[in-house]
Amino acid sequence: MIEIIIGVLVLISALIVLIASIGIVRFNNLYARMHVVTKVTSFGLLTMLIAVNLLFSQLWVLIESIVIFHVLIFLSPISAHVIAKVSAWLETNKIEDKSFNDIEKPMSSSTKDNDNIK
C-alpha cells in the first residue's frame, strides 16, 4: 500500500515539474517565467521529498530532506529577486520579449513582393 502512495506522489511531482516546464516555454516575459520557476518547482520538490521520506523512513533522510527543502525555500526567492533587479537595471521590460515560439520564418516570394510595394 505504501508503494502505491509513493508512486502516486512521484507521479504528481513529475506532473508538477512538467507543468512548470511548459509554463516556462509558454510565458513570454521574464517575470512570469521567474514566477513559474520559483513557485511551482518548490511544490514539485516538496512532493518528491515526501515520497522519499515515505520510502526510506529513516531519521537522517528526514533531516536531509528538511535541509534541502529549507535551502530551496530560502534561496529561490532570493535568486528570483536578484534576477528581477538585474532585469530592471538592464531595462529588459522595454525590450520586446520573444517567446520560444517566435522563431522567424524565411519570407516567401509573395511576401517579398508585398514589402517592395509599400
In a domain, 110, yes or no: no
- What are the residues whose beta carbons fall under 8 Å from the beta carbon of 50, sequence distance 6 or more? 9
Check: CB of residue 16 under 8 Å from CB of residue 40: yes
Instruction: Give the model's pLDDT for residue 36.
Output: 85
In whole angstroms, give the CA distance from residue 90 to residue 68: 32
In whole angstroms, give the CA distance from residue 32 to residue 50: 27
Q: What is the mean pLDDT of residues 100-107?
A: 52
In a domain, 116, yes or no: no
Instruction: Give the model's pLDDT for residue 108.
Output: 55
Q: State which residues form the domain around 83.
A: 2-94
In a domain, 63, yes or no: yes
Q: Which of 88 and 9 is assigned the larger pLDDT?
A: 9
Neighbouring CB atoms inside 10 A of 73's CB total 13
Q: Which of 50 and 113 is assigned the larger pLDDT?
A: 50
Check: CB of residue 13 under 8 Å from CB of residue 48: yes
* Residue pLDDT, tens place only, 11-49: 999 999 999 889 888 888 888 888 888 888 889 999 999
In a domain, 52, yes or no: yes
Count of domains observed in the chain: 1
* Residue pLDDT, tens place only, 33-89: 888 888 888 899 999 999 999 999 999 999 999 999 999 989 988 888 898 888 888
